[in-house]
Amino acid sequence: MLGARGKRSFKSPEYVKYQEDIGEFLKEVEWPFGINQVTFEVEGGFSNRGADLDNIIKPILDTYQGIFEDFNDNKVYKIKLRKRIVPKGEEYIRVRVYKEQEQEE
């Protein structure tokens, strides 16, 4: 989602569209966690088995930081990632966020 020109990176049009779509979806939602430490659980449904799961987390955190004034990604203390293989056209990303102490291992 990020491109590179020389030593500088830039957001691809797809990355910008993704951030706009998420922003539109979450525009009426308030960040309920204040400055508390949080955990992100992220599940990605990929149609390509070769897709890298770790590539989805940075855009998610950047987008949340751009949307929610009280959110800072330095308050993310745990990230749980899961990859699922789905048919082409049924790709998805699910995100759940909760205060770090709310869940046990």
Distance CA 56, CA 61 (A): 9
Residue 80 domain flag: yes
pLDDT 10s per residue in the chain (105 long)? 445 556 666 778 887 887 888 888 887 888 999 889 999 999 999 999 999 998 889 889 988 998 888 899 999 999 999 999 999 999 999 999 999 875 554
**What residue type is 80 in one-letter code?**
K
Distance CA 49, CA 79 (A): 21
The predicted structure's pLDDT at residue 23 = 80
The predicted structure's pLDDT at residue 49 = 93
- Among 44, 97, 41, 45, which Cα is nearest to 71's? 97
Residue 93 domain flag: yes
Tally the domains of the chain: 1
CA distances from 81 to 33, 76, 101 (A): 21, 13, 18
Residue 2 domain flag: no
The predicted structure's pLDDT at residue 80 = 96
CA angle, 23 then 80 then 32, to 5°: 45
Residue 43 domain flag: yes
Tell me which residue range forms the domain holding 72: 37-105
